[in-house]
């Protein structure tokens, strides 16, 4: 038995990230920028905690995805714009 609480928004952001980055060829695809984009996008989105145990959550998760689809795309696009204007990868 392994039950834990997770912010499902994190999974959704990672799921959408690659698809949206692919539509923005100017985006740096290095690890640092990808994480910066994901973190920024998550700051724009409300957290959505779920209890993660069995497969039962799948339908819940699908409806969440539909509910937040537009918010996810706009949060990630906004994060991409910010990171592209001011990438932090050069500082380290
Ligand atoms: Zn980069």
63 CA to centre of ligand 1 in angstroms: 33
Q: What is the pTM of this model?
A: 0.83
Consecutive H or E run containing 52: strand 49-52
Cα(1) to ligand 1 centroid in Å equals 39
- List average pLDDT for each run of 10 residues in the chain, which is 92 residues long: 85 93 90 96 94 68 84 96 88 56
Q: Based on the structure, what is the number of domains in the chain? A: 1
Residue 4 gets which letter from DSSP? Answer: E
Cα(39) to centroid of ligand 1, in Å? 14
CA pair distance 12, 10, nearest whole angstrom: 5
pLDDT at 52: 75
Distance 45 CA to ligand 1 centre (A): 23
User: What range does the domain containing 48 cover?
Assistant: 4-91
């Amino acid at each position: 038995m392994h039950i834990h609480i997770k912010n499902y928004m994190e999974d959704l952001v990672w799921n959408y990230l690659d698809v949206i980055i692919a539509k923005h060829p100017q985006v740096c695809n290095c690890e640092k920028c990808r994480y910066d984009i994901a973190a920024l996008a998550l700051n724009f989105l409300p957290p959505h905690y779920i209890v993660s145990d069995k497969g039962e959550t799948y339908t819940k998760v699908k409806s969440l995805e539909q509910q937040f689809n537009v918010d996810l795309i706009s949060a990630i696009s906004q994060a991409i714009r910010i990171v592209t204007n001011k990438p932090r990868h050069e500082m380290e």
